[in-house]
Structure 1
Amino acid sequence: MNWEKLLNNNRLRQSNRKNPEDARNDFESDFGRIIFSPALRRMHDKTQVFPLTTDDNIHSRLTHSMEVMSVGYSLGVQLCENEEFRTRIGRDKYDLFREIPMIVKNICLIHDIGNPPFGHFGETVIQNYFKDFFSKCSFPDKKQKNSQKLDLNEEQRFEFLNFDGNAQGLRVLTKLQILNDAFGLNLTFATLAAYIKYPNYEKINDKIIEQHKIGIFYSEREYFEKIISECELKVGDRVIRHPLCYLMEAADSICYLTMDMEDGYNMGLYDLNYLYNKLKDIPSIKEKIEKIYQDPENYYKNDITKVVNFRIQIIQQLVVLAVKNFEVNLSLIETGGYNKELIEDDETNKLAEILRSVCKEKIFTYRDINSLEITGHSVIGGLLDYYIKFVFHTDKKYRKRASALISNSILNAAFEENNLIGNDAKIDNLSDYYKLKIIVDFVSGMTDQYALNHYQKISGQKIN
């Protein structure tokens, strides 16, 4: 694998960065573009685990992503400290430290940027909505009497039936953050390639790590092919992950496992004794966890401080594990032969497995979470109902009102993609596929609270 290509700093649209006073490299420039993007700001009110919470101590998608960014940066720095790795890459140490940690930092910050409101359950709601909706429609290749006719092919329908925040994120980054063209934030090829966790749009295969989900939508395939070509990520007929994607995945898992654990404690779902009994027999952290728990010198003062220090020890252990597994398995990673998460490759300690059991036993069964997720089902399903009814309505007045409510940036991105300018830039001139796209783009980009308020307004439940 060619690391010169993997660290490709070119862009979909040729960059105009020529300011001699700007000392940043292209990956540092990517970071600035991401930080100032509206899509990133909206993550402050998107669910991590606890929907619509008013508790400021509980994680949102934005605070989660910032923590993932911090851990990811640490992973990148530790990797670059490895002299054997630096020699393999053939990069100057100074340059490498400004490239790889920065790319990992970028992709960690944007890894959830395409997630809909109400967390991962929001993805499930959208998928199931279209499963039901399409069952009542007629298509050119699947005709059904007395049903709504839609001009969508099977590949396009497949995308809605398998809606995923990762694929939506690529659309957000490359198109929906539109200014004056259809290139979105116009990030570097390396950043975009490393972001793509599932370089897959054809089928879902749980046995191959990069095919667990759909990571590319029909609308972004041209960009995807360009990114893959520029970074040389094809092995035969198979497209594989960018190696740095494994570090982002590890940082994400480390943070959501440890911080969900801490959030669960803060919400009163379990006590210190429960956590200690879960962690006390893990070889790599056993002594440190016991010392924190017993606290013979009363150093930690209270239980919440002990839980925080449990988390610190766990993160440190998982970071070491992730970097070690990346280094040991780099040849397999480069050829697409490594089929595990870095922190799951741990037969001795099984630390990630134990943390997942905490989430499964105590957090995901929490009644309030499930109740609010059902609220999310009603809100997202209701919004899709209203907007599809309006956009496809036979009365032009309804279509006009839908157009007035949908975000201008969403509409402009669709018009730009379809070369509709001037008087032609209208919803009526979009294909059925893109009519559904603008609706899903709009709804999936909403924050939890905005989605709830907007649904209540258009359904007549409240006026202000």
Structure 2
Amino acid sequence: MSIWSSSRYRPDSDQHHDDGDGPQARSIYQQDYDRLVFSSPVRRLANKTQVWPMDVNDGVRSRLTHSYEVANLARSIGARIAPVVQEYDKALEVEHAIQPLLLAAGLSHDLGNPPFGHQGEAAIGNWFDRRKSWIFTDEREGGEKIRTECQVPENFWPEFTQFDGNPQTLRLLVTLQTHGARRGLDLSASTLAASLKYSRSVDGNAIGAQGKKFGYFESERSVVEWIRVTTGLREGERHPLTWVMEACDDIAYSILDVEDLLKKGLLSPEDVLIILKRVTGLTGNSTIEKIAADFQKVDSTDRRAEIRRDVKVQFIRARTIAALIDVAVNAFKTHAKSIMDRTHQVGLMENDPLCGALKEIARSYGFVHPTVLRAEAEGATAMDTVMTEMWAAIANRKKSEDLWSNRIGARSRYVFSLISPNYVEAAVDAGLKAGPAGTMRYRELRLLTDMMSGMTDGFLMKLAADLKELPRVAGA
């Protein structure tokens, strides 16, 4: 039992498997990272929103570029905190354990995000909330009873009405990806633990940063229990490297979302400097003073104005990243004991004034920009349309007990054909589970959220338009 366990999930065996790739070639953790790099959920992030939905400027970040940047920042911090971690485990190797674990956790941290990010999460939750009088029961809309013993207990409704991408990430990693033995990407216990940002279930308890949200669905409870047995982590406890991954996410979206504002021309480098110096009260901050000095040097050159602007953007990024990495490293070192014994509760970037100021710039000038708000509104409408169609395709089948059963009506048959077969297989397999996760209605709803969260922004919008144009025929 170790937080650095390289064991893979084997419910039918207690033997360790390395899949034929010995440690002399790649460590288990390096294998985990490589599996993620080549996986389809990672590729789909290229067409998922970071801040600017479906932006025409290729230089503006997608969820994929954001995830690669988080992974890279995590690897850099990992190299600096390694000596501290090694004090608690002398045999741990930086290159073969800490860095690949952080790369994997950073790359995978947003895999479960639906189209249009947090607005997509809200749209999914709202769809369920508006239907909660019947959607969690064994009835159709209107009260028609369709089968028995398939209700979802009310304490699990928030998994749907408060849908969140974090537990969906774990579900992708361990359940949904196609695998010969049905184990998802079949990652090691330590990689999965480091990726588990929130460590409680929807009906569980945890305090501090790790308890702000629920981190796994009831459908993945058995895997989480295995992770805990294997690593020694308990509910409410984080893997030490999860704190680093979270800090790198904060660094990336505070600094780099501001850089996207600059790339789009919505702010100038001088605007950012003025806001940091005057509005946020950070006058005298050494990083800001260095940026101001950098700007003076750039302005003293005879280079074209647009080139000077680009150079200033680079200085903002480099100086602020360096400063916030120092904050994260120092915080980890300061709180190493509580982090390593899993009693720590406060994020490494919590209350840092520079990180907070940059986040506020992104919120004030990016998240509320009319372009973003319009795209999010269009995305929410598309989400509602497609979810309704997907639910009809899932529910309207000839045999209520068989999810593979033929659909009733041509429209439902068409829409059901768009659902990933491995998602349907996962829903069918879950019927062997005891408890709420094994009930038919829970599996139907999980299949719906699997499909919706797996879509990219572009696919969602195209499908919504396609379904709108598809003629409706009575009884079809």
Q: For 1:11, what is the secondary structure of its paired residue?
A: coil
Structure-2 separation of matches of 1:103 and 1:21? 15
Correspondence list, 1:180-199, <5 A: 180-199=180-199
Structure 1 residue 418 and structure 2 residue 420: aligned?
Answer: no
Q: Which residue of the other structure, out of 413, 418, 432, is the alignment partner of 1:405?
A: 418
Structure-2 separation of matches of 1:136 and 1:438? 17
Q: 2:332 — aligned with what? A: 326
- Determine if contact 1:182/1:417 at 8 Å carries over to the other structure: no
Structure 1 residue 153 and structure 2 residue 153: aligned?
Answer: yes
Q: Which residue of the other structure, out of 356, 361, 370, is the alignment partner of 2:359?
A: 356
- Determine if contact 1:113/1:169 at 8 Å carries over to the other structure: yes
Closer, same or farther: CA 304–293 of 1 in aligned 2, 3 Å? same
Structure-1 separation of matches of 2:133 and 2:464? 24
Q: CA deviation at 1:450?
A: 0.7
TM-score, normalisation: structure 2: 0.86
Structure-1 separation of matches of 2:339 and 2:164? 24
Q: For 2:9, what is the secondary structure of its paired residue?
A: coil
Closer, same or farther: CA 430–336 of 1 in aligned 2, 3 Å? closer
Q: For 2:346, what is the secondary structure of its paired residue?
A: coil
Structure-2 separation of matches of 1:449 and 1:343? 33
Q: 1:283 — aligned with what? A: 285
Structure-2 separation of matches of 1:49 and 1:244? 26
Structure 1: gaps spanning 5 or more residues: 421-428
Q: For 1:291, what is the secondary structure of its paired residue?
A: helix
State the one-letter code of the partner of 2:431: N
Closer, same or farther: CA 20–434 of 1 in aligned 2, 3 Å? closer
Structure-2 separation of matches of 1:196 and 1:138? 27
- Determine if contact 1:12/1:186 at 8 Å carries over to the other structure: yes
Q: For 2:408, what is the secondary structure of its paired residue?
A: helix
Structure 1 residue 162 and structure 2 residue 162: aligned?
Answer: yes
Deviations 1:341-392 (A, max 9, x none): 212253xxx1111111101221111001000000110111111111112322
- Determine if contact 1:27/1:103 at 8 Å carries over to the other structure: yes
Q: 1:265 — aligned with what? A: 262
Closer, same or farther: CA 207–264 of 1 in aligned 2, 3 Å? farther
Correspondence list, 1:308-457, <5 A: 308-346=314-352, 350-393=353-396, 396-398=407-409, 400-418=413-431, 431-457=440-466
Structure-2 separation of matches of 1:241 and 1:48? 25
State the one-letter code of the partner of 2:238: R
State the one-letter code of the partner of 1:244: L
Identity among equivalent positions (%) equals: 29
Structure-2 separation of matches of 1:216 and 1:433? 15
Structure 1 residue 77 and structure 2 residue 79: aligned?
Answer: yes
Q: Which residue of the other structure, out of 113, 116, 120, is the alignment partner of 1:115?
A: 113
Closer, same or farther: CA 262–335 of 1 in aligned 2, 3 Å? same
Deviates more, 1:359-368 or 1:241-250: 359-368
State the one-letter code of the partner of 1:364: F
Q: CA deviation at 1:402?
A: 4.2
Q: Which residue of the other structure, out of 27, 51, 55, is the alignment partner of 1:53?
A: 55
Closer, same or farther: CA 299–11 of 1 in aligned 2, 3 Å? farther
Structure-2 separation of matches of 1:242 and 1:461? 49
- Determine if contact 1:204/1:213 at 8 Å carries over to the other structure: no
Deviations 1:206-231 (A, max 9, x none): 96211111111010011011101211
Q: 2:20 — aligned with what? A: 18
Deviations 1:313-347 (A, max 9, x none): 0000111110110111012223444322212253x
- Determine if contact 2:155/2:203 at 8 Å carries over to the other structure: no
Structure-1 separation of matches of 2:289 and 2:176? 50
Closer, same or farther: CA 278–299 of 1 in aligned 2, 3 Å? farther
Q: 2:280 — aligned with what? A: none
Deviates more, 1:263-272 or 1:333-342: 333-342
Q: Which residue of the other structure, out of 5, 21, 38, is the alignment partner of 1:8?
A: 5
Q: 2:402 — aligned with what? A: none
Closer, same or farther: CA 297–148 of 1 in aligned 2, 3 Å? farther
Structure-2 separation of matches of 1:166 and 1:186? 18
Closer, same or farther: CA 462–299 of 1 in aligned 2, 3 Å? farther
Deviations 1:188-220 (A, max 9, x none): 100000100001113588962111111110100
- Determine if contact 2:394/2:444 at 8 Å carries over to the other structure: yes
Q: Which residue of the other structure, out of 246, 249, 266, is the alignment partner of 1:252?
A: 249
Q: For 1:294, what is the secondary structure of its paired residue?
A: helix
Q: For 1:175, what is the secondary structure of its paired residue?
A: helix
Closer, same or farther: CA 145–266 of 1 in aligned 2, 3 Å? closer
Structure-1 separation of matches of 2:233 and 2:408? 48
RMSD: 2.7
Q: Which residue of the other structure, out of 256, 271, 274, is the alignment partner of 1:274?
A: 271
Q: Which residue of the other structure, out of 290, 295, 301, is the alignment partner of 1:293?
A: 295
- Determine if contact 1:65/1:112 at 8 Å carries over to the other structure: yes
Structure 2: gaps spanning 5 or more residues: 11-15, 278-282, 399-406
State the one-letter code of the partner of 1:40: V
Deviations 1:399-444 (A, max 9, x none): 5444322111211222333359xxxxxxxx9811111111211111
Closer, same or farther: CA 53–189 of 1 in aligned 2, 3 Å? same
Q: For 1:444, what is the secondary structure of its paired residue?
A: helix
Closer, same or farther: CA 255–137 of 1 in aligned 2, 3 Å? closer
Structure-1 separation of matches of 2:417 and 2:242? 39
Structure-1 separation of matches of 2:68 and 2:141? 48
- Determine if contact 1:114/1:172 at 8 Å carries over to the other structure: yes
- Determine if contact 1:69/1:105 at 8 Å carries over to the other structure: yes
